Structure formats: C-alpha cells, structure tokens
Amino acid sequence: MKVSLFVTCLADNLYPEVVESVARILTDYGCEVDFPEAQSCCGQPAFNSGYQDEAREVSRQLIRAFEHSDYVVSPSGSCAGMVHHFYPYLFRDEPEWAAKAEALVGKMYEFSQFLVGVLGVTDVGASFPHKVTYHPSCHGMRLLGVKDEPMQLLSAVADIEYQDLPSRDDCCGFGGTFAIKMADMSEAMVCEKAANVCKSGAEVLVGTDMGCMMNIGGRLNKEGKPVRVMHLAQLLEEGRAKR
C-alpha cells in the first residue's frame, strides 16, 4: 500500500518528530511511505482570513502534489478537514479542479483515521505506564469526524492510566487566525483548557493536531505545569519501543 505523507506547515516547521513517528508506524504495518516535496500549505490560514483567491492558488499546488498518490495521510485533523470540507467549495465553479479536489478528498486521511479505518489496526502493541488524558481537536472531531479512533488506539495501550479530561470537547482557543484576531478570548479559552488538563491529574496530554498541542503546551509551560504534551503517534511509537 503506497501512502504519501501530508506533513502540514506546523509539523514541518515545529514538529518534524511527529511526522517521523507517523512514517515509522505506517512503515511497520507494510505501507510504502513517500513524501512529495511539491506539497504546500493547505490554504486554511488564507481561507479563514477571507482570502479565497489566494487559498485557491495554494490549494491547487497541494492537489498537484498528491495527484498520483494512492493514499494521503496527515498527522493533523485540521488540515485534512480543510481539504475534505472546503476544497469542494473553493472549486465549485471550476469543474476540472472540482473533480481533482474530490479525488484528493477521497484519499485524504488523518493518521488515526487511516490506522483504524483503512489498515484495521486498533492495537499497536504498545505499553505506556503513565496517567494520560486526551484533547480532541475541533476540526478533527467536528469537520473530519475523527471521534472514536484515537480512543480506540489509546484504550488498547497496556498499563496506561486514562484520565477523563473535564469539558474535553471544548475548544482550546487556538483556531489558527482566531488566536490572533481574538487574542484575549483565545487566551481565556486556553487558560480554561490548561486548568482542566491539570484537574484531570494527567502526566501526559495527547492530541492529534499540532495547533492544539502548541497552544495548550505553550500555556502549560508558561504556567510551569509539569505535563508532557505528545501527539498520538509519538505515544504509540514510544510505547511500542518499551515492550
């Protein structure tokens, strides 16, 4: 099975180790993984700011980059959600590009979604003897529909002590450009989220979206809270190495 990695801007620039974990896990399950170097931003920042023409140009480049891929897997539900929900809208008046956008939608998956839904893997054979809580990202959960897959993978990890996150479905306040345009409101939201992470008693916070990880992790670090923040792929890979 040939899988192309869509690394996203935040992963490429700030969290390359997350993509490495994704690649190693997929390779271990028999996937032939590649990285199309022509890939670009998904266009979400421009689109969310109202610059639809600019978002379309960036989107065309991403479509071109993965045009010949069998499957496309991303560590970010937010970026995958942008492709699934807004690419058809962006190209609604351009039949040729609309067809290409729909083709990409049909093969674009978030990491846990692909692992569980396509590869049929719910237990990677990991052990992680720590107190862990999980934050579901808004775009991954609400736009892409990634709800059960991360918990299926976490629940199969041996020795894990899962801690419920109070108000887990609440937004962390990042929201891309929202955090810039509505900085005061964004800060209030991430403060509340960080407080709930601490209330959970978890030693480790797991997420599936680098924007949320960066935002919540930054707040926890600013407050001096000793909570480790990890992507789901990192926890699974680290847990497999311990067994």
Give whole-number Cα distances, 18 to 5, 7, 11, 57, in Å: 12, 9, 7, 27
The pLDDT of residue 243 is 67
Paired with 72 in beta bridges are: 4, 108
First and final CA of the chain: distance in angstroms? 26
Mean pLDDT, residues 105-121: 97
The pLDDT of residue 175 is 82
The pLDDT of residue 178 is 84
Burial (Cβ within 10 Å: 0-12, 13-18, ≥19) of residue 180: exposed
How do residues 13-47 score in pLDDT, each as one tens digit? 999 999 999 999 999 999 999 999 999 999 999 99
Taking the C-alpha atoms of residue 68 and residue 59, their distance in angstroms, rounded to an integer, is 16
Q: Which CATH architecture has domain 131-241?
A: 3-Layer(aba) Sandwich (3.40)
Mean pLDDT, residues 166-179: 89
DSSP for residue 140: I
Asked whether 192 and 180 are in contact (CB, 8 A), the reply is: no
* Per-domain boundaries in the chain: 2-117, 131-241
Query: DSSP string spanning 157-204?
Result: SBT-EE-PPTTTTS--S-TTTHHHHTHHHHHHHHHHHHHHHHHHT-SE
Q: How many CB atoms lie within 10 A of CB 26?
A: 23
Closest CA to 90 of 139, 65, 55: 55
Confidence of residue 126 (pLDDT cuts 50, 70, 90): very high
Taking the C-alpha atoms of residue 124 and residue 228, their distance in angstroms, rounded to an integer, is 21
In this model, does residue 80 exceed pLDDT 90? yes
Residue 229: φ, ψ to 5°: -110, 125
How many residues are given for the chain? 243
Strand-by-strand arrangement of the 32-34 sheet: 32-34, 2-5, 71-74, 108-110
Rg (CA), the chain: 18
Closest CA to 101 of 61, 73, 129: 61
How do residues 39-69 score in pLDDT, each as one tens digit? 999 999 999 999 999 999 999 999 999 999 9
Tell me the average pLDDT of the chain. 95
| Helix (H/G/I), strand (E/B), else coil: 89 | helix
Taking the C-alpha atoms of residue 113 and residue 152, their distance in angstroms, rounded to an integer, is 10
The pLDDT of residue 241 is 84
Asked whether 148 and 113 are in contact (CB, 8 A), the reply is: no
Mean pLDDT, residues 146-166: 96
